[in-house]
Copies of this chain bind each other. A is one copy, B any other.
Amino acid sequence: MANYRQGRQSFILPRPPAITAWASCAGKKESEGPLAHTFDITSQDTRFGQRTWEQAEKQVQRLALGKLAEKANMKMQDFQLIFSGDLLNQCIGSSFSLRNTGIPHLGLYGACSTMAESLLLASMSVGGGFADHAVAMTSSHFASSERQYRFPLGYGGQRTPTSQWTVTGSGAALVCAEGAGPRITGCTIGTVTDLGIKDANNMGAAMAAAAYDTIRAHLTDFSRTPEDYSLIITGDLGQMGKDLLLELAKRDGISLGGRLEDCGCLIFDRKIQDVHAGGSGCGCSAVTLCGYLLGQLQSNKLKSILFCGTGALLSPTSTQQGLPIPGVCHTVVIEGGNG
């Protein structure tokens, strides 16, 4: 029987699925940032025409998915399988975006690691022959996140220097057994890691340990070094978390310095956009991947990336009960479309 397991936490894809199309939809603040030109759809209306923030987040997913279908030259109802999830309680962004579309759906909860988790599972389903193609998708919305995890916006709470700004946006990628595009060649599955960080306004620190654990496991499982990648890109550690990850690696004698970047640091201009430590949320890595990163891979400006989705597995309840914030990180190797 075929065995594609690699080391302790990883697997390879001997017939690497291709990401043949991708699409992104982002909000107003994101459209004023450095990656603005890479988004397919942007809106100046943060409600996206909906009555509530939660429905706005649903709508962001719908817009991204519709755009993906258009770019893939498919009808939305022809999608065979969608892996998706989001940050809202009971993932209602994802459930309501797919309501009555007739598309088979497997719901995920990986907090902000969901773009990587959904890509990993999409590549497993396609690489294993269980689907011809699968969509990986996720979203977040600044306003729905703030009121759920922290304070209602109207309260006007002061933000701490370590806090991050939840990205309003959704990214969707089509993973196919056949076709041209950047290819997924291997994945590493993360473990739930907890360094005892309890500050819900410093999620970068809470996630950095998980990011380091999975990156180290990945390099071990594949016998690789950071230099084997054009870029090691984490999802939403922000500046604080990124610095901590560099430090954790350095202590073990691993230099990530020249290769490491973070979507949360790329998506906003911290000097002028007042986002404190950077961007965060499922949408942060999703819109950065489904635009800038896949574009760079497609045009061979990047040869290969280690895409590291990072998630803080807290809930307001666990925080109120004084529990620490466990983190998780899943990584996906994506190689340039033209080999």
Contact = CB atoms under 8 A, between A and B. Distances in A.
A247 B124 CA distance: 37
Contacts of A108: 106-109
Q: Specify which of A8, A117, A318 lies most central, judged by the most chain B CB atoms within 10 Å of its CB.
A: A318
A103 B190 CA distance: 8
B192 A129 contact: no
A109 B125 CA distance: 17
A96 B323 contact: yes
Given A100-B194, A177-B1, A315 B92 contact: yes
A99 interface: yes
A4 B191 contact: no
A313 interface: yes
A42 B309 CA distance: 38
Interface stretch (A30-38, A66-74, A82-90, A298-306): A82-90
B92 A317 contact: yes
A190 B101 CA distance: 11
B117 A124 contact: no
A172 interface: no
Given A81-B189, A95-B192, A99-B326, A89 B315 contact: yes
The number of times this chain is found in the oligomer is 2
Given A313-B90, A318-B54, A109 B111 contact: no
A153 to B, nearest CB: 15
A104 B326 contact: no
Given A1-B129, A192-B100, A326 B95 contact: yes
Contacts of A297: none
A18 to B, nearest CB: 12
A52 interface: yes
A190 B4 contact: no
Interface in A154-211: 177, 189-194
A99 B54 contact: no
Contact of A191 (B88, B102, B317): B102
Nearest to A123: B130
Contacts of A129: 1-5, 128
A143 interface: no
